[in-house]
Structure 1
């Protein structure tokens, strides 16, 4: 289980990382991994930010799941900041943000 938590934390950092560039520098990076929880954050000088926290949730006597809450943001070439917040749990990945298209009401 600890391996899974570490893997999720490292995956979140990898997703937030930009394509290789010599100009990008890490301004802040924090990580705290426990037995049944983790917290991680990353901020780059190009406006990319990422934070996530997760914890083990007991669903039933036989099942458990990792619940991850977090957000990531970036600045587009025109200077506008975009932010996505999300929760990922036994119900799947559930993002929210102004940049996510919404289906029309039928």
Structure 2
């Protein structure tokens, strides 16, 4: 059940990232790869407007009380300023953990 919910959220996120704003021309999908297995998935999407998104998820501790989905991925896009922004992320039992050169970092 957790896997189904997490996969549905991942698909919605992929769709939202691939959809261009109404003010821009409609982008074309250049690449879409997907592989869904019982205990994991991965996908990659690339569009003509410079957006890219790839992600893989793996179900950990299957059948136990600690069953959880661990997701790793990255996405990039061209901002209104013409720069390409890239984010890598990990989502696990510690939450969503994005990293990117343009994102602020916690002071340690």
TM-score over 0.5 for the pair: yes
- In structure 2, the CA distance between the partners of 1:12 and 1:91, relative to structure 1 (3 Å rule), is same
Structure 2 residue 69 is matched with structure 1 residue 66: yes
Counterpart in the other structure of 1:41? 44
TM, length-normalised to structure 2: 0.82
1:73-84 → structure 2 map (5 Å cutoff): 73-84=76-87
SS in 1 for 2:80: coil
Greater than 6 Å deviation, 4+ residue runs: none
Structure 2 residue 17 is matched with structure 1 residue 16: yes
* Alpha-carbon separation, structure 2, partners of 1:10 and 1:103: 29
TM, length-normalised to structure 1: 0.84
CA drift of 1:14 comes to 2.2
SS in 1 for 2:8: helix
Gaps of 5+ in 1: none
Counterpart in the other structure of 2:101? 98
Gaps of 5+ in 2: none
